[in-house]
Chains A and B, each alone.
Chain A
Amino acid sequence: MQQINVLITDDHQLLLDGIQSLLAEEADIRVSGTALNGYEALAQAEANHYDVCLLDISMPGLDGIATARALKRLHPALAIIVLTTYRDREIVAEMLEIGVSGYLLKNATRTELAEAIRKVSAGGIHFSNEIQEGILDNYVQLTREKNRPGSVILTHREKQILGLLARELTNEKIASELHISYRTVETHRKNLLHKTGSHNLAGLLKHAYRAGLLE
């Protein structure tokens, strides 16, 4: 039988041993290497052939994120399963972007772990249920952001101020119109110039007309 070669990376010997003993009962999975940190994982992956790498995130020195990035660049065929307690959405998103094949929380059962290893070694993907829900939310959000026109996104207040600037109101007038302070108007104006890459009011208005930011 073709065995799946697995590399486990975790900075706690306790967990390395635990995972190893869990997987020992699966005949088609062979833990052929362990690493206590990211550097060791990179060195191991360079020296031997692995099909799947189980990777922790919180490690001293090179953490799981940097390790995953490096592993994917150096060994694109190696399937990575993140095994962590972190469920922070941005971290999951970052790992997805890097191209990991799986993301499991450390409360995964033996069957789930083994199943995930089999799936990703065959080119599939596997994510914990909780993570899947998060991914879906994130996906909706990402597509929403990508659908926004133009590269410059103005806040509601900035659009208001842009409109008043187009009507040639001075900072003082704008301040009293919107019931905000002079200083606040000034800040918005500065940010408008910076965000649109303009040097002065004329440039800003030109940009605004072109980009359709003014109704």
Chain B
Amino acid sequence: MPSRLALFGLYTAWCLSASAQKSHFYPVRSSSLVGLYGSRIDSLERLLGNACPDTFFIQNSIILAEYCFYSEDVARSDAWLAQAEARCRKTGWKRGALMALRLRGIEEETGHKNYAAALGYFTNAALIAEREGWSAESHAMYTSMLNLCFYTGDFVGAMRIASKGLQLAEKEGAQERVARYDNIIGFIYLRQKNSAGARRFYALYLAAATRRHDTLLIADAQNCLADVCLEEKDDDKALAYLGRAMTVYRGLAAANRLNQMDRLPYTLYKTAFAYGSRGDPVKALGYMQEALRYVETVSCNRYDVAAYFLYAGNLYLQLDRPREALPLLRSGLSIAREIHHKEDLRDAYLYLNQLFARGKKFDSAYAYYLLYDAIRDSISNERTTQQIEEIGNGYSLEKKDRQIERLSQQKRWQEATLRRQLLLRNLSLGFLALAIIIGWLVISRRELKNKQRTQASANQKQHELFNLTAAVQESERKRVAQDLHDGIGTLLSAARLKLSALPDGNNVVAATQRLLDDAISELQSIAHNIMPASLLRLGLVRALQSLFDQLPAGGLHIDYMAYGFDGRLPEEKEIAVYRMILELVNNAIRHSGATVATVQLVRRPGEINILVEDNGCGFEMSRTGNRGIGLRNIGSRVTYLNGSLHIDSRPGHGTTVIIDLPDGAS
């Protein structure tokens, strides 16, 4: 259940303290709010007559636009906002520009759910605030930006913003803001599964809260520390923290002094989770039911509610009560769809699959399994991108290490020379000649060694470069093929469709249609050569089948077999194996004159064996000729995959190439 845990703290990251900025709780948009805003809108519109001063006009037209937006009158909102922006440009009034950008951001975020665009607006607004030295506005924009980063899972971006905010807050000596950023950074570390880092910053947060004697802030900090304990599977300690926080919240709620009531269901949810992970689903369910009761009366954000529904559904499922689980899981699923939350979607599909499988409705179970499988793949693909980035980072780190090593080598060499000079001075002239000879020997040997070492490090560097280039190249190829297919391909298909709407019998139309057909099929084959669709969509084994079916192999007959490939390999590995086999088969077609080739893939526990053999002319191992570059490339790929390559060929007796790769997936 680790992904559930990942959601924890989203709440705490934005409900930071009793007096935290309320900037992120926008009113719910609804046409029923027209009544509430209607009178204000009317009176504001009357106010904004002709001859009012620029700043007055800008400020109030933005407020007006915001009211219109909340009462779902988007067109009117847009019109007023555009007027405000025009006046801002004319007068160069910075505060007005910032207000307008902020509203644009809010509209993108809550209206169109276009988080990238919203982030753009907020970033520009923050730039103005930073340049003008308006700290309150800077922090408000950081808050909005941070929330977007959390929505989209961009923790690198979040970290950048949070540390900027922390620096600013420390410079101002604003204790409460510092605590707030400590909390956010703790949360980011937690999401990165770095519980030590999270604990460090949360402890700072707790210390600040204790200094201020703010019971609510202390409770919030304890709530955060509970997250760390849950991450570390220390359920007892988590429960202790949560119990203390809950007592404070309940007390404040009873006294009507808790302004963000969704703390209650959220803390109950975490308590339930702690009991659940302790293996006590009955007790967990009790807490969850209480949490769900709050959802009906307290306004909560959709992210949390989706998690509540899914977790409650899961608990019912564990207790074998599918009838109660189903509606909860369905509600959770529909919210997850609405907010585009991939991990929630994945879990919802998995639970629904389990539910239907238990009810022996295998059709539905299977359908949900497919949905689960597809989305799980798309999540892990995103991880691959991260891995590539890590390779890149690792590369520059190692480069630095090698530089350090080289420097210390130099230093050692200098020290040795110094010692030798001392020795020479103390020796008599008679030994001078001998000493010179010995010295020369020593130096030349050392040089030789150094040369070897530099050579080895150059090889190593070249190898790393190859890996990096290969990884980047493949992801680039994938993108280009996809772009060709989805971009130009789609335009051509659309043009083709438009033409076919014309009546038949026109020669020019018919000829143009044929040209378009040729263009489409040409494009297809280019895209296919760059990155075959079947490789990405159906996997290595079927892509090879497709390749050998369609390969113009001349007089070569290819026998192809694959054993033990029930599941797929990681995409990166599938692409590498595909390219290697393509290269080997091409070699066989071009250089060997073979009539039969065998390509066999065998997957044994822990390893994959690839065998390509032909009955062609073979070659002298020392004279690879034109095959050389291709084989070297294969060698590099194999080394990168930590495998081994064996080439067995003799003139007149065919060629066998054996590649063994570790199979980490099993």
Contacts and interface: CB of A to CB of B under 8 A. Distances in A.
A160 to B, nearest CB: 11
A62 to B, nearest CB: 5
Contact of B648 (A18, A87, A183, A194): A183
Interface in B495-516: 496-498, 500-501, 513, 516
B546 A66 contact: no
Given A87-B524, A156-B598, A184-B656, A15 B497 contact: yes
Contacts of B486: 11-12, 58
Contact of B494 (A18, A70, A90, A194): A18
A65 to B, nearest CB: 6
B545 A90 contact: yes
Contacts of A14: 490-491, 494
Contacts of A76: 363
A110 B485 CA distance: 22
Interface string A48-88: 00000000011001110110011001101000000001111
Majority-rule SS of B interface residues: helix
Contacts of A96: none
Interface string B550-570: 100000000101011000000
B563 A194 contact: yes
A195 interface: yes
B380 to A, nearest CB: 14
Nearest to A42: B371
Contacts of B543: 90
Majority-rule SS of A interface residues: helix
A3 interface: no
Interface string A80-107: 0000011111110010000000000011
A19 interface: yes
Nearest to B651: A179
A110 B482 CA distance: 27
A11 B490 CA distance: 10
Nearest to B561: A153
B538 A22 contact: no
**B494, B596, B653, most chain A CB atoms within 10 A:** B494
B370 A69 contact: yes
Interface stretch (B55-63, B410-418, B529-537, B575-583): B529-537
B85 interface: no
23 contacts: A12-B490, A12-B494, A15-B490, A18-B497, A73-B364, A73-B370, A85-B493, A85-B524, A87-B524, A88-B528, A88-B546, A90-B534, A90-B542, A90-B549, A107-B496, A107-B513, A108-B500, A137-B549, A155-B559, A183-B658, A184-B656, A187-B660, A191-B609
Interface of A: 11-12, 14-15, 18-19, 21-22, 25, 38-39, 42-43, 57-58, 61-63, 65-66, 69-70, 73-74, 76, 85-91, 94, 106-110, 137, 141, 153, 155-157, 178-181, 183-184, 187-188, 190-191, 194-195
Given A14-B490, A85-B493, A107-B493, 13 more contacts: A12-B494, A15-B493, A18-B493, A22-B501, A74-B363, A85-B485, A88-B532, A88-B533, A106-B497, A156-B596, A180-B648, A183-B646, A194-B564
Listed from nearest, the 3 A-B pairs whose CB atoms lie closest are: A179-B653, A18-B497, A73-B367
